[in-house]
Amino acid sequence: MSKKSIYFNILMKRKLETLKEYLYLLAQNKLTFAALIIILFLIIIAIIAPIIVPFPSHIYGSVNPQDKLLSPSWTYLFGTDEMGRDLFSRVLYGTRISLLGSLIAVAMGLLIGVPLGLMAGFYGGFIDEFVMRIVDMFLSFPPLLLAMAIAAFLGPSLQNAIIALIISWWPWYTRLIRGQVVSIKEREFVRAAHAIGTPSWQIMFKHILPNCISPVIVQASLDLGGIILTLAALSFLGLGAQAPIPEWGLIINTSRTYFLKAWWYGIFPGMAIFIAVLCFNLLGDGLREVLDPKTKKY
């Protein structure tokens, strides 16, 4: 065994310990722990949805007029819709669309927003002014309204709805991270790094970014829920996913017509949205408690 492996073993062990500690702290809060379990469950469902759904053909097309608007039974756990499609299969598959959509939107938002905020805060001056005024412009619209306008402009489809969400969401991250960078930048270790000749990009990404990322993580996990909701809202308004995509918001939209005859039609996708959003919010709160030293309970 060389020296290298000894050092790296210790380091890995320590990192694992830190991770364990964070997980332990997360699990301390029962609600967060439950949310974490449910989210893991939802992710698994999203991944294996095409395999486990009882009626794969019902996800998109397939019309079975003889089975239309059946109430929940053992064959059709969540009942059927007006075209006789199994709602359980559709809602299950909808998990995949909603989670993936919101993950893409948040990831892209971070990818655009974080470097911009980092640059604005680090360089200051003109770059800061320029970026932050653009951000201010975006932030002066209510996010849902802006997303609606962009989605309407791009034309209604799932991809365009996600693009609209990215465009209306990145400024939040930029503003959040810029504020952090401005304060971290003045810390002694950043000046010290500068004094021993560390290049700017390394100071930005190695010294500043890791020190200001935790509020962004919290915000992103809260946003995962918020974006599921907004994506569903866009689809509900007809600006997002188009039939026959089994998007939760879209299913609720089509269920409006049968609201009095078939209660199960709107309730189950609504419950799905409710659970997903609630869990992400709980997880976000839990993460905040763990990551923010001010609320840390030891």
Partner 1 sequence: MSNYFEIKDLKVSFKTSERVKNVLDIDKLNLHKGETLGVVGESGAGKSVLAMSILRILPSPPAFIENGKIIFKGQNLLSLKEKEMQKIRGKEISMIFQDPMSTLNPVFTVGQQIMNVVRHNKHLNKEDAEKEALRMIKLVKLPDAKNTLCKYPNELSGGQRQRIIIAIALSCGAELLIADEPTRNLDVTIQAGVLKLIDELKKELRITVLFIANNVNLIFIVSDRVAVLYRGKIIEVGTSQEIKREPVHPYTRRLLGITPVDREISNLIEADFKKKISSDDFECSYFCKCEERMEMCKKNSPILTKIGNTHWVNCHRVINREVNNESTSISH
Residues forming contacts to partner 1 in the complex (CB under 8 A) are 2-4, 6-7, 10-11, 14, 187-189, 191-199, 202, 206-207, 210-211
* Shortest spacing between CB 16 and partner 1, in angstroms: 12
* Shortest spacing between CB 3 and partner 1, in angstroms: 7
Amino acid, res. 46: A
Pick 9 or 75: Cβ nearer partner 1: 9
Cα distance between residue 252 and residue 255, in whole Å: 5
Pick 90 or 178: Cβ nearer partner 1: 178
The closest alpha carbon to 93, from 145, 39, 54, 135, belongs to: 54
Q: How far is CA 149 from CA 145, 154, 185, in A?
A: 6, 9, 37
Pick 28 or 202: Cβ nearer partner 1: 202
Cα distance between residue 218 and residue 216, in whole Å: 5
Pick 17 or 136: Cβ nearer partner 1: 17
* Shortest spacing between CB 220 and partner 1, in angstroms: 18
* Shortest spacing between CB 188 and partner 1, in angstroms: 4
Pick 155 or 197: Cβ nearer partner 1: 197
* Shortest spacing between CB 213 and partner 1, in angstroms: 9
What is the total residue count of the chain? 298
Cα distance between residue 77 and residue 224, in whole Å: 28
First to last CA, the chain: 38
Cα distance between residue 192 and residue 200, in whole Å: 12
* Shortest spacing between CB 13 and partner 1, in angstroms: 8
Cα distance between residue 292 and residue 4, in whole Å: 34
Cα distance between residue 10 and residue 3, in whole Å: 11
CB 93 within 8 A of CB 245: no
Pick 206 or 261: Cβ nearer partner 1: 206
